[in-house]
Amino acid sequence: MKILGVSGSLRADSHNTALLRCAARHLPEGVELEVWDGLRDVPPYDEDDDVDPAPQAVAAFRAALAGADAVLFSTPEYNSSIPGQLKNAIDWVSRPFASNPLRNKPVAVIGSSTGMFGAMWAQAELRKVLAATGARVVDAELSVPKAQAHLGEGGSLAPEHDEGLAGVVSALLEETRPKVTAAA
Ligand SMILES: Cc1cc2nc3c(=O)[nH]c(=O)nc-3n(C[C@H](O)[C@H](O)[C@H](O)COP(=O)(O)O)c2cc1C
């Protein structure tokens, strides 16, 4: 089983990318998390360019999403909302609506910021946008506030948040595993 990690930050020392790496530590045997690194290359959305073949970076994002069983987003908050480049990339892959690679895909959203509220509003908006694409948004949350205090340079996460992170990962896996239907 494969989970794609998507960080909303382009920053080399991003707390949100670090949070995805922390999430990987909670995965059971047989489940891998690959952090997508193509966000910077996605061009600005232009409906005139939304044709076949798609721009290379867009095609690569679509393929990465299609090849994943689930997606874990980790987003910073910019001015109380989703970073523009992340929203732009989701806009690209949301079309065509009926066959977009997020449709029916289990997704979870976590986030971190240097502020007091851990990107809560950005996460709420991201969940709304992902639901609009048809993704199955898991009802589990993790906000890591004061990122510089709670996310260590060596990749450590404060225990109270690490516990919450394990809970989100577990909820995402639960949503992803094939549902076993009871025999009649
Ligand atoms: C343009 C801009 C706007 C920001 N707005 C917010 C905000 O509304 N709320 C917040 O908590 N932090 C805000 N921040 C701080 C970011 O959350 C902080 O830089 C965070 O560490 C970025 O995530 P990263 O470490 O993954 O790059 C803002 C930062 C920038 C650059």
Low-confidence residues in the chain, pLDDT < 50: 184
- C-alpha–C-alpha distance, residues 59 and 41, integer Å: 11
Q: What angle do CA 49, 135, 4 make, to 5 degrees?
A: 80
* Strands 106-112, 32-35: pairing kind: unpaired
- C-alpha–C-alpha distance, residues 139 and 158, integer Å: 22
Within 8 A by CB and 6+ apart from 81, the residues are 121, 122, 125
- C-alpha–C-alpha distance, residues 58 and 49, integer Å: 11
pLDDT on residue 144: 97
Ligand 1 is surrounded, with C-beta below 6 A, by 9, 11, 14-16, 76-80, 113-115, 117, 119, 147
Residue 79 alpha carbon, nearest atom of ligand 1: 8
pLDDT on residue 183: 56
Residue 10 alpha carbon, nearest atom of ligand 1: 27
pLDDT on residue 153: 78
pLDDT on residue 157: 95
pLDDT on residue 127: 98
